[in-house]
Structure 1
Amino acid sequence: MPSPASASVPSKRRFYLRWPFCLAVAALIGYGVVVAMHWDDRGLLWIKEGFESPAERQESIWLPDYVADIDAKPLPGMERDEASDLAYNPHTRTLFSVMGKHPFLVELTLDGDVLRKMPLVGWANPEGVAVLEDGQIAIVDERNHDLTVVKVDAGTTSLNRADYLSHDLGDAGNGNKGFEAIAWDVPRQRLIIGEERPPKLYTWNTDGHSPLQGEKQPLPNDELDLRNLSALGVDPRTGHLLVLSADSNLLLELDEQGEQVSFMTLLGGFNGLADTIPRAEGVAMDEQGTLYIVSEPNLFYRFRKH
């Protein structure tokens, strides 16, 4: 009968033969996660950020410097409505958000307090909102694949889709993962429209006053290495584009050439966040550079540069 010591030798040998295989499997799984989450791209951008000069940082939004001063403030009475986007109105210094599950347009203070809640009658799934001029607001309906420009003033209590002209955005390639985001680019006099998955950008020229003419045009961009595109915003100071991704837990800054400049993770423990933003669906920035985000189901965030 073999001794206990000799019996343990094959067992040890099997262990040492197994662990390189297990390590290889773990490495392969880890690599897959890194690629799927685009952490490899973020790592390259993080390295690139380190080489930006103080002057270059000053000329950009520079998201790493932002810290939350309002963290996960609930929007009362909207727990079941699903906040879907956010836009800033410089004329009233208020914010407008659309609720997708139960269609509403909501006006908020810059502190995230609800001023009014306006039913959107006839909309199926409003997902994007942008403030234009003269009280005009553009709303993207993901399910109807269209864009409607409505008129909102201080006395508006509800909006009926049948009262306004809707513009067909065409079929999206992925059902309910279609046209998700919209922002008005004031310096370039155009709307920027985003398709959720795979992320794509389009433009529609407008001065913000006149009725929309023509149709959307593709905006080629190779920098949208995100799992999805949830929302868009434009910094009125620099003209840089903010691209939000709920699935990637990420906010990207793109310059006027569409190149990545900086990014901010939406994970807990970073940029003043106590916890990860559950599902970031809307982003806006005011003329002071203050950043606002809304998340499903009904959470409000504000970030200031420190």
Structure 2
Amino acid sequence: MPALLSRFLRPHWLALTAALFAGATLIDYLHWDARAYFWLKEQHLSKGERDASVWLPGYNAVLQAKLLEGLEDDETSGLTYNPLSGTLFTVTGKHPLLVELSRQGEVLRRIELLGFSNPEGVEVLGDGRLAIIDERTRQLTAFALSDVAESIDARDLESFDLGFADAGNKGFEGIAWDERHQRLLLAKERSPLGLFSLPFPGEEGAAGVMQSMPAGHLFVRDLSSLTVDPRTGHTLVLSDESRLLLELDEQGEPLSFISLIGGLNGLEHGIQQAEGVAMDEAGDIYVVGEPNLFYVFRKDPT
């Protein structure tokens, strides 16, 4: 009888063991254990601490999955807000374009990017210039954009080599301007992922030395995009693979986060491949997801 029972239970124990192993692997891959721990930590922050931060759990989607018209055959990546014009900019990779958007997700104009191989990030600098990261060539290119420009040629502009020659398609994707410290923040996607700072002075000056930044305990699989909240100086980090938006304080420590899966924070459906994030002076958060979808998150005033 024991032998018969053993033969009966063996396949069930094997299936249970396999299921437990698969579950543990998934939890480790998605960092769900770290998320659960950090969620509990979030609950103990005081109202004053929350009010002094971006506090992402207070945000909800107010516009979601809006199609960026005319970009159906391409993939948007990176996003930045221009306070001078009150508009947003993103870049596309298949057919390199710089695209200006309204804050309602309307395509205002498209500028051809010549001499760019794989533009992945875009940012408005403090002096109004735009900076674009080309992930494949590891180049950062800054330029002034006129109101009537129809094309930008990287071969006519000064570029800065970001290094990591062996990074391939796992290089720098995120870029953000830190007004308080007059520097660029850069995010290396993965293998390994990391945050870096780069002093970037005026148009006639040379870029400084890029330095690694403390990044706390980031429970994400990759880094897709960055933006800096001009009010608090905190950095928002977007992770495509982890479907997370994470707030870091000025010491690089996680402070709050929201998940980008469906059913949470007003999202009817999850953002499948979030590739760009930006924030305006009012605190509204904008996200673009591949191939060409646009989202707006707004904080509940209550």
Same fold flag (TM > 0.5): yes
Q: Is the 8 A contact 1:127 1:142 kept in 2?
A: yes
Single out whichever of 215-224 and 230-239 deviates more from structure 2. 215-224
Whichever residue aligns with residue 177 of structure 1, its letter is: K
Deviation at 1:67, TM superposition (A): 0.5
Deviation at 1:44, TM superposition (A): 1.0
Aligned position for 1:91:
84
Percent of residue pairs identical = 51
Partner of 2:232: 238
Q: Is the 8 A contact 2:140 2:159 kept in 1?
A: yes
**Alpha-carbon distance, 1:213 to partner:** 2.5
Structure-2-length-normalised TM-score: 0.94
Distance (Å, rounded) in 2 between the aligned partners of 1:232 and 1:66? 17
**8 Å CA contact retained: 1:74, 1:299:** yes
Q: Deviations over 1:114-136 (max 9, x none)?
A: 11000001100000111013430
Letter in 2 for 1:235: D
Letter of the 1:122 counterpart: G
* Partner residue of 2:120 out of 120, 124, 127: 127
Within the alignment, does 1:278 sit opposite 2:256 as a pair? Answer: no
Q: Deviations over 1:129-170 (max 9, x none)?
A: 110134300100001111000111212221111221011111
Change (3 A) 1:44 1:212: farther
Tell me what 1:199 maps to: 193
Matched, 1:300 2:294: yes
Q: Which runs of 5+ in 2 are unaligned?
A: none
User: Any unmatched runs of 5+ in structure 1?
Assistant: 1-5
Tell me how far apart the structure 2 counterparts of residues 65 and 133 of structure 1 sit (CA, whole Å). 28
Match of 2:137 in 1: 144
Q: Quick one: distance in 2 between partners of 1:58 and 1:188?
A: 23
**Matches of 2:206 and 2:125, distance apart in 1:** 11
**Partner residue in 1 for 2:258:** 264
Give the 5 Å matches for 1:1-306. 13-197=6-190, 198-207=192-201, 211-306=205-300
Q: Secondary structure at the match of 2:49?
A: helix
1:138 to 1:284, Cα distance in 2 relative to 1, 3 A:
same
Secondary structure class of the residue paired with 2:257: strand
CA distance 1:40–1:247, shift in 2 (3 Å): same
For 1:3, the equivalent position in structure 2 comes to none
Q: CA RMSD in A?
A: 1.7
- AA aligned opposite 2:262: G
Instruction: Using structure 1 for the length normalisation, give the TM-score.
Output: 0.93
Q: Note the alpha carbon deviations across 1:93-119, whole angstroms, 9 max, x for none.
A: 100101112100000001010110000
Quick check: which has more Rg, 1 or 2?
A: 1
Q: How far off is 1:22 after superposition?
A: 2.6
